[in-house]
Amino acid sequence: MNYKNLVFLGTSHIAKQSMNEVKKYIETEKPDIIALELDKKRLPALMQKQRKIELRVIKRIGIKGFLFSLFGAWAEKKLGKLVGVAPGSEMRLAVRLAKKNNIGIALIDQDIEITLRRLSKELSWKEKWNFIADIFKSVFSGKKEIDFDLRTVPEKRIIKRLVGKLKERYPNIYHVLIEERNAVIADNLKKLMDSNPDKKILAILGAGHVEDVLELIKRKQEARISYTFSLGYKVGHK
């Protein structure tokens, strides 16, 4: 999916297919900058494969945000073992290939501590425990409400159904993890595009973010064009 000097690659964080596509896209698109769905705190933790959270950080993000992060990471690791791919492997590969080929890296996600603080504030305990119960049910029973192959990136129609289910069952989680982060990612990508108009940017995001992030960027572009036209019209008719 392309827009101006921006190329999107939607991934699944535990899919072997995503690793293959990252390698393919970097080799064929030859980007000048790779924009990743990471922030300054998650990148070093991901590359070291260790995610230790200190007590002072738990106090900052809140207990509900901490528990969400803990169980989310545990579930992702369990699912990753089922398919033989460690969570975030496609991001690690992108970083390694970027360094090998002297490609710039841009971190475009919201600060993880802000996201977890927002979860602590917005999540009800009922929604939190429902989420944890669903994780255990999914991991240990192996049953999925929407059936798809974990080794591949889901098709667009399946992604829409998955996101729709998340929004319906966990509206606060959806708002914080999807809507709010999409807005931040779109804003950061738009700034990156504007400051590097002659450079090709490859944005590697979870597949569930791509469509909405692209739409937000287009709206920002249209709003700027409309404002510029309006301003030019007023100046010309003084």
Question: Which regions in the chain score pLDDT beneath 50?
Answer: 235
Tokens read off for 7: 């190329």
User: What global pTM score does this model have?
Assistant: 0.84
Residue range 166-182, pLDDT digits in tens: 888 889 989 999 999 99
At residue 158, the pLDDT reads 86
How far is CA 81 from its chain centroid?
Answer: 21
Give bridge partners of residue 7 from the DSSP assignment: 2, 202
Residue holding tokens 């579930």?
75
Contact 7, 69 (CB under 8 A): no
Rounded to whole angstroms, how far apart are CA atoms 186 and 103?
21
At residue 92, the pLDDT reads 95
